[in-house]
Amino acid sequence: MIPVQGVQGQKIAVLGLGRSGLATARALKAGGAEPLLWDDSAEARAKAEAEGFACTDLMRNGAFDGVAALITSPGIPHLYPQPNKVIARALALGVPVDNDIGLFFRSFATTAWDNFEVAPKVVCVTGSNGKSTTTALIHHILTVAGRPTQMAGNIGRGVLDIDPPQDGEVVVLELSSYQTELARALTPDVAVFTNLSPDHLDRHQGMGGYFAAKRRLFAEGGPDRCIIGVDELEGQFLAGQLAQGREDDRVIRISSGQKLDDFGWSVFARKGFLAEWRRGKQVASIDLREIPGLPGAHNHQNACAAYAATRALGIAPRVIESALLSFAGLPHRSQLVGERGGVRFINDSKATNVDSAAKALQAFPRIRWIVGGMGKDGGIAALQPFLGSVVKAYLIGFSARDFALQIGDTPHEICETMDRAVARAAAEAEPGEVVLLAPAAASFDQYPNFEKRGEDFTAKVRALIG
């Protein structure tokens, strides 16, 4: 646990009692604060009270009397499309609103560091797609390299739930736009921006607000090194804002597809090969084509980001290459579930939007595509240019019939359920083809989250192939 500093004797309200909310309450208590907790769920409140915490309805009169701050969970809207009523009240009363990320950054460094030979560092990863894989890959490389490391944030543990860092340790955090937008303190040593594509637009009032939320990690965080994906205009703009010029190697530009050999420091992948360039010279190269845990151009971008981040931390290219080869990948992200009769079954349930689904569709040559769920704004019409590799689509969920109208002449079948989609795709697949779950939609019509959807696909496949 990371005890929160600077809260001794203060009343601190905590809204939302999920994983991060309870971890925050414990860390506040360890720092000497008096946490006042609330969640609309009676079950969540009961769990908190079982740990000895006081739950207080923050909408009752006088609830914020003497409260120094409100700490809110990331899933609770604080601005758009409209703020949660408790947050709105705190703002009206002038009570500072923060989140666990802000508390972490103001509490991470302690006087214990005075005895360390190497100060601990924090690497933060944000962007639209690839955050989790990049975060896990950085953590994996550091582990292989023998560096003490912990992983937290949007993946793994809550940030305040991790152990106090050791001498020379590196904490790797995956941060969403919800987290970066609200945190009152952001001071990473290395920050990574993977890419940007439309997502969560209701929470940020459009693309401009979404990009602005990501940008805070860099513009206000002031990292020593910035790793910026420049395959979209926003990344190019951000790199240009952060660098003093093209030779400024505090900014490491990364790309999957572009040759970036005219900058102070860059890492890019082309035709399956990763290359590192510094000041006009290539200094390292890695063949990514046969790395099983990193299939496709989108994963090659993740590899570039993780490579750049760990190079910025002083890890040697050969060590990084060895770690890439042993990386198993993450569940629900281009995960190989199994193989039967020359047909591979790939679980990419995390492909919940058009951009991530497009990347999955470009990763394999012949695809039996399981797609559908609760469609997002715009549906999947934008995927038309990427359907050349699709042999047939098997449509599931609430938006199945709408999606069928948006895929043009691509052969398709409306299956509605995962069970039928897996059975039909497996029955029709031929050797050399891939049965790919890449839904391009949210899961909430049939599943509580994308993980449960991916687990259902995995279970159906494994029952089928034995």
Number of residues that make up the chain: 466
Are the C-beta atoms of 191 and 227 separated by less than 8 Å?
Answer: yes
Which among 106, 153, 102 is positioned nearest to 126, based on CA atoms?
A: 153
272 is in an annotated binding site: no
Per DSSP, the residues of 56-110 read --TTSTTTTTTEEEEEE-TTS-SSSS---HHHHHHHHTT--EE-HHHHHHHHS--
Pick the closest to residue 284 from 268, 299, 262, 306 (CA basis): 268
The SS3 call for residue 400 is: helix
131 annotated as ligand-binding: yes
Residue 322 assigned as binding residue: no
Q: Is 127 annotated as a binding-site member? A: yes
- For residue 13, what is the enclosing H or E element? strand 11-15
Cα dihedral across residues 226, 227, 230, 232: positive or negative? negative
H or E segment and range at residue 46: helix 42-50
Per the annotation, does 130 bind a ligand? yes
**Helix segments in 223-312, DSSP class H:** 233-242, 296-312
CA–CA dist 304, 452 (Å, integer)? 29
- 266 burial type by CB count under 10 A (0-12 exposed, 13-18 middle, 19+ buried): buried
Closest CA to 279 of 259, 265, 267: 265
Residue 434, C-beta contacts closer than 8 angstroms, at least 6 positions apart: 343, 344, 345, 346, 364, 366, 367, 368
d(CA 345, CA 336): 6
Q: Binding residue per annotation — 111?
A: no
Half-sphere exposure of 131 (CA within 13 A, CB side): 24
Token digits for 59? 């909408």
Residue 349, classed as helix, strand or coil, is: coil
State the pairing for strand pair 343-347/335-340: antiparallel
- Report phi then psi at 62, rounded to 5: 80, 5
* Alpha helices by DSSP H, 249-372: 296-312, 317-326, 354-361
Rg over CA atoms, the chain: 23
Q: What are the C-alpha distances in Å from 224 to residues 174, 187, 309, 398?
A: 18, 9, 11, 46
Q: Is 347 known as a binding-site position?
A: no
Binding-site residues for ATP, in ranges, read 127-133
Binding-site residues, in ranges, read 127-133
